[in-house]
Structure 1
Amino acid sequence: MKYLDGMGALVGQVSPTAAGQLYAEARQSLAGGVTAGLRWHPYLGRPFYATRAEGPYLYDLEGKRYLDFNMANGAVLLGHGHPAVNRAVQLGLAAGILTASETEHHVSLATTLCRVIPCAERVRFAVTGTEANLVAVRLARHVTGRRKLLTFAGHFHGLAEPFLFRAAEGTGSDVPVPASGGVPDTYGQDLVIVPWNDPDAFDRALARHRGEVAAVICEPVHYNAGCIPPLPGFLAHLRQRTQEEGIVLIFDEVLSGFRMALGGAQEFYGVTPDLCTLAKALASGLPLAAICGRADLMEHLSPAGPVAHSGTYTGQLLGVLAARATLEALESPGVYVELGRRAARFYDEAQSIFDRAGIPARIQGLGARFGLYFGRREPVVTWAEAVASDEALHRRFVLGCLKRGLYFHAYLGLPGHAGFSLAHDDDCLDHALNVIETVARELARQ
């Protein structure tokens, strides 16, 4: 695939650079030339190959340094290679990389999560966010005796069959259709999809499927669409209506967890779900997830109850130790006050840059994650508005930033999300704003 990036450079072809040569080799052994589909950068036409990471920075194959505004898809909130996390992992290595064993560290981490996460009376560890969400839904179906799952358009809950659906276009209904090859449409029979931030549509769906819905699952902040916060009162409405209907409310806090408050979106908005799932920022880039929730629900998990969940790598020690170090750092006094100050300043100034340059762009952020929407100036409140963004303008912006050492990832056909870490101090953010202003002015001239 070849195309012009809007700045005169040909992108998307294998070049004689080290990255191009490595990609050519990768395509001979790796499916699609990558180890995960979303690691292919659609604007580069290949993956971004990194050699190391440190603090707020990534380094490519040729040693060029980039200020990272992806941060491992949001998994690294403290910064790459945080000293406390590194020390914790070294302790795990010294212990022999204990796998499939319970330790005191598992108990300590679970105790901490029960203290800081509002809904957490019990905790069960998992490996990925996908696994955690599957277990949460399985648990809800068992305790309610119902089958159907209600989700929201564009919300991402993992790459497993129950979640790989989208709302059928042009039907005017909540009929789901597969969003991936190989997913039988029969899975969609137990799925209801409604628009985010639309309480009337939500209520109508509950009425149509009364007595059938086991769980409502949502991203309490729709970061998979960049950053679409809930409208005032919307989460409280979900809480009230699910309680009235005997439905389990699940907050998928894989992305929102720890982002704007230690207790995640549920603490920030003051709405407590029955269950929540955590991953990404929990262990500073190491694979670890968690299901948290009410004791009367969680005790249905095996071995106490009949709901199956286990795994050799469940709660792997290195991730548990990294998570303990991460939470200790996040509990330091003033962390979230400072994070909020940096975030508000950065988002305000970035928006001002686009406005001054006359670029139709909207930046929406909450805590350390944000979305960029090109081609519009109004707030984005729905998935439909997010996917209607100007992708060509977004591509030109991202490539302009990459040339100047500011790394944004891109997701083919999706709005995507970006973000920073606690390692991004004011100097880093000032540098990012300077790059953004340079690129915005160049786009305006074109």
Structure 2
Amino acid sequence: MSSHLLERARKVLVGGVNSPVRSFRSVRTDPIFLTKAEGPFVYDALGRRYIDLICGWGSIILGHAKSEIVEAAIERVRNGHALGLTSELEVELAEEVARSFRSVELMRFANSGTECVMTAVRLARAYTGRKRVLVFEGSYHGHSDFLLTKEARDPESMLGKPSSAGVLPEFLDNTIVARFNDIESVRRCLRRYRGEVAAILLEPVPANMGVVPPIDGFLEELRDEADREDCLLVFDEVVTGFRIARGGAQERYGVEADLTCLGKVLGGGLPIGCVGGRSEVMKLLAPEGPVYHAGTFAGNPLVMVVGLQTLRCLGERAYETLEHVSDRVCNALLRLAEKIDSRVVLQRVGSMFTVFFTKNGAVRDYRGAKSSDLRAFTSFFSKALGVGILMPPSQFEALFVTVAHSEVISDMERIVEGVDQLE
């Protein structure tokens, strides 16, 4: 059935998928077609059940199809799910965000992380009157042309090198690339482009090169450098927001940003983006100011309801559960990985984590992540899949768990213990 579906899909969808990672090409197998998700499980078109460690690419944090969320969504659809004008639901969700993120005084909802990061950069440029943006090697901030880069084109200019065909080098002429966890690299960039940098933009915990925690003091030093340079510090917390703490990386590490981008968990599995921050910056957005942003589906009531219900269920006990579940799941995965290769490094922040196969120890940046053994990861992925554990089909994607995974910890541990040593 899956091969038939794949054949059909390839006739009408590019590569048979709507996002490249779903093609499973990096793990050298055919993609899985899913039909259902419930609690900690997903089910494929052949009826097979898997423990899900993709979790909607981090957007599901309570578990799939949680009854309170399903009921609220059905009720909203009955009462209209595309109102076209503003509703009280937008105000309620914004109030929840503001209570969770002290740095977010005003905000604007959007439809994706890509969109809200684009808007954040536009705001930073308008506020500072500067044009350049400093990002980090291996970072991912959506697929807008001026941010689609993984590394600098050369060490002298430090300007971004396009990471996709169709992205012209001149689109990245105002994008500077530094090395994550290397404050001296940041300072070199700021010296080279003194007075020209509008924003330092980063995932405070990168999740798109695998999970790479910031070293002690790095985020604090970035805050100091941004203040010294009179530029904005922008945290892309699309993945980390509401995931690693209620107030994201800013709560977990005690460093506040000028602008914050949110998504994933905030929408409870539905498409959402949110950019927010200091009121003096945010008031530059239309209709208050000259910076344009608009969207047909921005503040969509169905998304607002699902987001609200998700956040209302995310109390302190939920995060305690997530920490406990994550610790035990990671221990089980580490044992499975060690059956494949002894050169294993597992890195976790809250309920997001990555298993790297590398001889170089802890992964601190993109260069370290790139040195991973992809063949070992492919073996790990295949072995896990064979025993009913579904992980993201890429070494460079984060794994996630939900509150509902507390139901399957013991089962997962037994599964791993039963796996024979690979030859």
**What is the TM-score with the length of structure 1 in the denominator?**
0.91
1:318 to 302, 308, 322: 302
Contact 1:343-1:366 within 8 A present in 2 as well: no
Contact 1:364-1:372 within 8 A present in 2 as well: yes
* Structure 1 counterpart of 2:101, one-letter code: I
In structure 2, C-alpha distance between the alignment counterparts of 1:187 and 1:406, rounded to whole Å: 41
Post-superposition, which runs of at least 4 consecutive aligned residues in structure 1 deviate over 3 A?
A: 168-173, 348-358, 433-439
Shift of 1:338: 2.2
In structure 2, C-alpha distance between the alignment counterparts of 1:273 and 1:226, rounded to whole Å: 23
Q: Does 1:96 align with 2:80?
A: yes
In structure 1, C-alpha distance between the alignment counterparts of 2:347 and 2:71, rounded to whole Å: 35
Pick which of 342-351 and 78-87 moved more. 342-351
* Structure 2 counterpart of 1:211, one-letter code: G
Alignment of 1:301-380 (within 5 A): 301-330=285-314, 332-351=315-334, 354=337, 359-376=342-359, 378-380=361-363
* Structure 1 counterpart of 2:421, one-letter code: E
Shift of 1:350: 3.9
TM-superposition CA deviations, 1:394-429 (whole Å, max 9, x none): 101111111111101213xx522111111101x512
Note closer, same or farther for the CA distance 1:287–1:275 as it changes in structure 2 (3 Å cut).
Answer: same
In structure 2, C-alpha distance between the alignment counterparts of 1:397 and 1:172, rounded to whole Å: 39
Alignment of 1:190-339 (within 5 A): 190-330=174-314, 332-339=315-322
**Residue aligning to 1:4:** none
**Residue aligning to 1:433:** 413
Shift of 1:38: 2.2
CA RMSD of aligned residues (A): 1.8
Q: Does 1:409 align with 2:396?
A: no
- State the identity %: 34
Contact 1:256-1:265 within 8 A present in 2 as well: yes
**What is the TM-score with the length of structure 2 in the denominator?**
0.95
**Residue aligning to 2:92:** 108
Contact 2:205-2:211 within 8 A present in 1 as well: yes
Contact 1:406-1:435 within 8 A present in 2 as well: no
Note closer, same or farther for the CA distance 1:369–1:123 as it changes in structure 2 (3 Å cut).
Answer: same
Contact 2:42-2:50 within 8 A present in 1 as well: yes
Residue ranges of structure 2 left out of the alignment (5+ in a row): none
Alignment of 1:62-101 (within 5 A): 62-101=46-85
In structure 2, C-alpha distance between the alignment counterparts of 1:337 and 1:30, rounded to whole Å: 41
**Residue aligning to 1:442:** 421
What is the DSSP-based 3-state SS (H/G/I as helix, E as strand, rest coil) of the residue aligned with 1:58?
strand
In structure 2, C-alpha distance between the alignment counterparts of 1:217 and 1:93, rounded to whole Å: 37
**Residue aligning to 1:139:** 123
Shift of 1:137: 0.4
In structure 2, C-alpha distance between the alignment counterparts of 1:437 and 1:168, rounded to whole Å: 44
Contact 1:284-1:326 within 8 A present in 2 as well: yes
What is the DSSP-based 3-state SS (H/G/I as helix, E as strand, rest coil) of the residue aligned with 2:403?
coil
Residue ranges of structure 1 left out of the alignment (5+ in a row): 1-17
Note closer, same or farther for the CA distance 1:131–1:315 as it changes in structure 2 (3 Å cut).
Answer: same
* Structure 2 counterpart of 1:345, one-letter code: R
Number of equivalenced pairs: 422
**Residue aligning to 2:364:** 381
Shift of 1:187: 1.0
Contact 1:151-1:193 within 8 A present in 2 as well: yes
**Residue aligning to 1:422:** 403
Alignment of 1:20-39 (within 5 A): 20-39=3-22
Contact 1:161-1:187 within 8 A present in 2 as well: yes
In structure 1, C-alpha distance between the alignment counterparts of 2:157 and 2:182, rounded to whole Å: 14
